[in-house]
């Protein structure tokens, strides 16, 4: 069984300062990914605006991340400058990432976001709930028949692929390669991707583009309901006549398919593995759900708090990036125009200045202002959908298998940016 996460071990003040003062995201210690939180705590305390050897800054305080998120005019999301040396101008990864809304500033960002948000309305998301419940129950039936399985392979990763596939109207028969494409394209965002990660990412963008061209052509022939169908909405553009170019359309479809995929898989996988790591919390959550009984609103409230705490404690997306367009100051440190900034969501989410007992998982935590979905103009466009998936998946899994246990140590994805597991074998009881 996994031991509860360790808080910063006892060490001399000198050693603590040294660890913070030598932190380099491009040269992480071997044991960092298993538990980065003690290092984040040292950074927050001793080097909250850490200037790394490549000159970029690594921010770990909640208030500093908020200041950057709030000032989108100074802190740009546009990655043309940063990604040119990383991927090579004209490479599939470069074209993809520099055209997606998340890595652009207004006006492209605003145009695409408006179209996506128009289809992700509260009603549209509520309409997805019955299908989601059916899907989750079918997965649970299969797991029950086998007496267990793999939390990630057989459950967590099987949910977002269907939800996002439905959102864009990808036929079921075509969904097979979506997960691998997504893992490869987002994997290339690692601080220092390997040559294999570069190659797999480029190949996946090319394959995905080819696939989406045929999907878009078919949808142009037979449009869906633009109130519900994101792809039809992106194709048709706004009523005002503002349309996306073909490249903008295809690249943002790729982004959308990827954005809601690994992140949500990791929310569900991390959440369930936390239940195993913190048995007292699991017990309390099960008791709260029993008390809520058949009162759907009460159950939703209990699960909403639990899901948000899982997101705070083990954020699927640990890092974000911005570039200062002009000279600026963050956390009292002056930055030159052009400075690159890494926002460490995982560290900000455990900032003692904001959270009571931040290193403790508390599934009843109220007023949880975590930054797992970012903040400001780029705040996750799919957050309500992700929360719904988390509630239904974790809630129904626990209701069916309240005493499930891992049967072997879970295997980490091995990435600094996206935090989650590749596999986690378990028994239902």
Residues that bind ligand HEM (CB under 6 A): 77, 101-102, 109, 113, 116, 256, 259-260, 263-264, 267, 316-317, 320, 372-374, 378, 380-382, 385-386
Instruction: Give min distance, CB of 163 to ligand HEM, in A.
Output: 7
Instruction: Give min distance, CB of 371 to ligand HEM, in A.
Output: 7
Question: Which residue lies nearer to ligand HEM by CB, 44 or 109?
Answer: 109
Instruction: Give min distance, CB of 164 to ligand HEM, in A.
Output: 6
CB atoms closer than 10 angstroms to residue 319: 21
Question: Which residue lies nearer to ligand HEM by CB, 20 or 324?
Answer: 324
Please, are residues 152 and 423 in contact by the beta-carbon 8 Å criterion?
yes
Question: Which residue lies nearer to ligand HEM by CB, 50 or 378?
Answer: 378
Tokens of 281: 């919390």
Question: Which residue lies nearer to ligand HEM by CB, 92 or 271?
Answer: 271
Instruction: Give min distance, CB of 46 to ligand HEM, in A.
Output: 26
Instruction: Give min distance, CB of 373 to ligand HEM, in A.
Output: 5
Question: Which residue lies nearer to ligand HEM by CB, 42 or 132?
Answer: 132
Instruction: Give min distance, CB of 230 to ligand HEM, in A.
Output: 8
Question: Which residue lies nearer to ligand HEM by CB, 49 or 341?
Answer: 341
Please, are residues 370 and 95 in contact by the beta-carbon 8 Å criterion?
no
């Amino acid at each position: 069984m996994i031991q509860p996460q360790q808080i910063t071990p006892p060490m001399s003040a000198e050693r603590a300062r040294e660890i913070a003062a030598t932190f380099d995201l491009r040269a992480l210690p071997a044991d960092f990914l298993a538990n980065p939180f003690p290092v984040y705590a040292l950074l927050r305390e001793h080097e909250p605006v850490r200037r790394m050897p490549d000159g970029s800054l690594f921010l770990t305080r909640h208030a500093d991340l908020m200041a950057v998120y709030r000032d989108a005019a100074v802190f740009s999301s546009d990655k043309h400058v940063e990604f040119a040396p990383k991927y090579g101008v004209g490479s599939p990864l470069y074209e993809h990432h520099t055209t997606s809304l998340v890595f652009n500033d207004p006006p492209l960002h605003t145009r695409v976001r408006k179209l996506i948000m128009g289809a992700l309305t509260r009603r549209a998301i509520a309409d997805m709930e019955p299908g989601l419940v059916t899907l989750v129950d079918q997965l649970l039936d299969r797991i029950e028949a086998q007496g267990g399985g793999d939390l990630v392979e057989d459950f967590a990763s099987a949910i977002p692929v269907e939800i996002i596939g439905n959102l864009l109207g990808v036929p079921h028969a075509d969904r097979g390669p979506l997960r691998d494409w997504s893992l490869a394209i987002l994997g290339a965002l690692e601080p220092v991707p390997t040559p294999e990660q570069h190659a797999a990412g480029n190949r996946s963008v090319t394959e995905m583009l080819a696939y989406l061209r045929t999907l878009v052509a078919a949808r142009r022939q037979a449009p869906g309901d633009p109130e519900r169908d994101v792809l039809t909405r992106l194709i048709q553009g706004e009523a005002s006549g503002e349309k996306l170019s073909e490249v903008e359309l295809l690249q943002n479809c790729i982004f959308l398919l990827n954005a809601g995929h690994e992140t949500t898989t990791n929310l569900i996988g991390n959440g369930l593995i936390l239940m195993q790591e913190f048995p007292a919390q699991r017990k309390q959550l099960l008791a709260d759900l029993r008390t809520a009984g058949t009162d759907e609103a009460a159950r939703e409230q209990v699960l909403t708090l639990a899901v948000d705490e899982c997101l705070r404690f083990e954020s699927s997306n640990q890092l974000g990036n911005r570039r200062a367009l002009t000279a600026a100051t963050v956390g009292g440190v002056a930055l030159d125009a052009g400075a690159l900034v890494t926002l460490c969501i995982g560290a900000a989410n455990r900032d003692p200045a904001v959270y009571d007992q931040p290193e403790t998982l508390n599934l009843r935590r109220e007023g949880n202002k975590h930054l797992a979905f970012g903040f400001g103009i780029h705040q996750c466009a799919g957050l309500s959908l992700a929360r719904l998936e988390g509630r239904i998946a974790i809630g129904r899994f626990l209701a069916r298998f309240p005493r499930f246990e891992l049967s072997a140590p879970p295997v980490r994805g091995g990435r600094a940016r996206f935090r989650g597991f590749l596999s986690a074998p378990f028994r239902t009881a």
